[in-house]
Copies of this chain bind each other. A is one copy, B any other.
């Protein structure tokens, strides 16, 4: 008989005691001197991270995060059955090249900045079902690799509007396995791709807000939960322009989100730091979740949280061809032992 793990339209219910065995966040200099600097495992004081190119630096940062997480779990790479990872670069090269280094069976995933929770929910699914004993999920982004690829050559010094966001330089990784003392991963809601016609690549927050709101509302409907069932519901990188839009869309659906509704993109940099409307990139939600929120759960400050990573699935070609920006959001629910069903 097949075990029933689906709840409603697109929410997975993990039946076994799947937990984060460990997690790690590694960041660049700007993130290290931001609001959460003390929460990260490693801060590179140089955007090159000692490498020759920004692309290699991003890879080093991801490898640092993955290796640190595996080490913190007391495991060796040989014990990890699957590595699920993605990044923002063309052909996912950061993740793919890092998989050559780790030599763990590799599955590349892509959901732009939502990849943080996409990789984690798939890793959790594989562990929950017993396909692998341990899996590691990881993502990265780098401000300079993203700028030159998505926007303009960095030397060009292009100006940006206030609705733009600052891509986080960093990486986050989490090791998933059964049992232990870490936060339990109980549910995941897979997003649908939404496109409300926003075409401005300098306003990703507005483009992504409807996808975030849709995934959150779907999660509530599928699980029968409501906003107050969570201590914290964080979006990935809607930032100060997109986050109020998501709040309003959810209010229109009947959900009063209140103070518990926050955004990772608004938690990383201090007000003094140049950031436009806030942080973005796969590493925005990953570094906040793996570096900060998991520690807050360990400290007993948070008991049940929902991380809703948001992704803008455009490419430079698609927007140059006049296409709108399709977006998606994937949500993962974490729970500490004091508040398990």
Q: Is the C-beta of A194 less than 8 angstroms from some C-beta in chain B? A: yes
**Contact A3 B313, beta carbon cutoff 8 Å:** no
Interface stretch (choices A62-70, A98-106, A164-172): A98-106
- The interface residues of chain B lying within 8 Å CB-to-CB of A129 are 2-3, 5, 125, 128-129, 131
- The interface residues of chain B lying within 8 Å CB-to-CB of A315 are 89-91, 93
- Size class of the A contact interface (CB-based, 8 Å): 35 or more
A174 to chain B, nearest CB (A): 17
Q: Is the C-beta of A137 less than 8 angstroms from some C-beta in chain B? A: no
| Bound Cα distance from A91 to B5, whole angstroms | 30
- The interface residues of chain B lying within 8 Å CB-to-CB of A110 are 86, 91-92, 108-110
**Contact A118 B108, beta carbon cutoff 8 Å:** yes
Q: Is the C-beta of A316 less than 8 angstroms from some C-beta in chain B? A: yes
Per-residue CB contact flags for chain A residues 311-327 toward chain B (1 = under 8 Å, else 0) read 00111111001010010
The residue among A5, A56, A109 with the most chain B CB atoms within 10 A of its own CB is A109
- The interface residues of chain B lying within 8 Å CB-to-CB of A268 are none
**Contact A100 B130, beta carbon cutoff 8 Å:** no
On whether A326 and B99 interact (CB within 8 A), knowing A109-B108, A191-B105, the answer reads: yes
Q: Is the C-beta of A126 less than 8 angstroms from some C-beta in chain B? A: yes
Q: Is the C-beta of A195 less than 8 angstroms from some C-beta in chain B? A: yes
Considering only residues 305-339 of chain A, those with a C-beta below 8 Å from chain B are 313-318, 321, 323, 326, 328
**Contact B100 A193, beta carbon cutoff 8 Å:** yes
- The interface residues of chain B lying within 8 Å CB-to-CB of A6 are 81, 130-133
Q: Is the C-beta of A82 less than 8 angstroms from some C-beta in chain B? A: yes
- The interface residues of chain B lying within 8 Å CB-to-CB of A326 are 96-97, 99-100
Neighbour of A190 across the interface among B93, B100, B107, B190, CB < 8 A: B107
- The interface residues of chain B lying within 8 Å CB-to-CB of A5 are 129-131
- The interface residues of chain B lying within 8 Å CB-to-CB of A39 are none
Known: A2-B128, A56-B321, A92-B313. 13 other contacts (CB 8 A): A3-B129, A9-B105, A10-B81, A93-B315, A93-B317, A96-B313, A99-B193, A100-B195, A108-B109, A122-B122, A125-B131, A128-B129, A129-B131
A contacts, CB < 8 Å to B:
2-6, 9-10, 12, 16, 53, 55-56, 81-82, 86, 89-93, 96-97, 99-100, 103-112, 118, 122, 125-126, 128-133, 149, 178, 190-195, 313-318, 321, 323, 326, 328
In the complex, 25 of the A-B residue pairs with CB atoms within 8 angstroms, ordered by the A residue number, are A2-B178, A3-B129, A5-B130, A6-B131, A10-B82, A53-B321, A91-B313, A91-B315, A91-B318, A93-B314, A96-B193, A96-B313, A96-B326, A97-B318, A97-B326, A99-B326, A100-B193, A100-B195, A103-B192, A106-B190, A107-B109, A107-B190, A110-B110, A125-B125, A125-B129
